[in-house]
Amino acid sequence: MKKFLPALCVLFIAPSVSAQIPIDPLRRLQDVQGAYNYTLGITYTPSSSQGIDFDETGFPYRFNNFNQGTSLSLSGGYSFNEYFGINSVVDWSFSSTRENRDFLDFTRQTLNRSNSSVGGSFGLEYRAAPSSFFDPRFSVNVAYPWTISTQGQISLVRDPMILLGSIGYSRSLQGVGENVSIGIGTGFVANDVISLSGSANYSIPTDGVSLPVTSLSFRTGYNLDPKGNQEIGVRATLSTSGSDTRIGIGLEFGGRGVITAPSKDSATQATTSNASGVPLGTQQTGILPSQPTSSTATSSSTVPKNTTPSKLEEKLDNLSQNLATRELQLRDLQQQILEIKKELESLKK
């Protein structure tokens, strides 16, 4: 229970709410038990429009308006194991509009309006085949105002790049409003501190008379520490729906780590201190923990006579978690060895 309390705190205070879970290639959950991540973001989106309209009495006028939208968001995710993970988002939006109305009698009317809203979402992700080449994942997301969505996603990782594709369906629980969306994304790790990513999404309405929505996103991230556990990012977005086009820019701060149970033996402490060293831009599992000394190994394997079953279960959980972490680290090292061998073979040719 102690493992999940910090994760739940992140989830319930945990960017922008959308009907469909966005593709973000370089910010995926770690696939080990207890892995978590969080992101705090702010986005500014200005827009303007002009045209001809009629007032309440039917008198025509020409209007020009300027809208400024700002949103603050906090998101978080937690991985129970390599198969299941959850994510949550809380979003606060504020917009202000200034409109000038020019009438035929050469009079001008100026209107100012503002409003704010709060939204949120909660989702569950299932990783169907962790060892599969395309790593298929399925998710269900519930957002407020009440919308439910499902999504399927596949990915292809080839260091230093990752490619993703998704297809999803969402439906409003408050009435008419459902759509199918298709998304693609890519990410690139330039070096130890710089990462780049981009995504595109096309949403097609399947009922009503609403317009399709196309959205593009480009992001640059910068790691703040050598292990990649903290990062700042700058994101630019472009969305179009009919003749309405909006461009936004955002600033993000995020981090990740692994929640592990406390342990008294040095082997577990070594794993705990290194397990959180996972770069945000890659799927590497950090530094391989150092092997324990013979005296440590002997003391950790010896079971005192007064040990209770609960303590043995806790010790077994710790060892199982350490084993899973090391397996992922060994898998990553094997992948790096294969890549180096390929480079050597190409050089020999």
pLDDT at 262: 54
* Rg, C-alpha atoms of the chain: 25
Measured in whole angstroms, the distance separating CA 33 from the mean position of its chain's CA atoms is: 17
Structural domains present in the chain: 4-258 (2.40.160.40), 266-348 (no CATH)
> Are residues 275 and 325 in contact, defined by beta-carbon separation less than 8 angstroms?
yes
pLDDT at 263: 52
pTM of the model: 0.68
Helix, strand, coil fractions of the chain, as percent rounded to 5: 20, 50, 30
- In angstroms, rounded to a whole number, what is the distance separating the alpha carbons of residues 171 and 79? 26
> Are residues 199 and 185 in contact, defined by beta-carbon separation less than 8 angstroms?
yes
Alpha helices in the chain (DSSP H): 4-13, 266-275, 294-301, 309-348
> Are residues 194 and 220 in contact, defined by beta-carbon separation less than 8 angstroms?
yes
Query: How many Cβ atoms from other residues are within 10 Å of residue 103's Cβ?
Result: 13
What phi, psi does 11 have (nearest 5°)?
-70, -40
Q: What is the pLDDT along the chain (349 residues), one digit of tens a residue?
A: 444 444 434 333 333 334 334 444 444 445 678 899 999 999 999 999 899 999 888 889 999 999 999 999 999 999 999 899 999 999 999 999 999 999 988 899 999 999 999 999 999 999 998 888 888 999 999 999 889 999 999 998 887 788 999 999 999 888 778 999 999 999 988 888 898 999 999 999 988 778 899 999 999 999 998 777 899 999 999 999 988 899 999 999 999 888 875 554 444 443 333 333 333 333 333 323 333 333 333 334 444 555 566 677 777 777 777 777 777 777 778 778 877 887 887 787 7
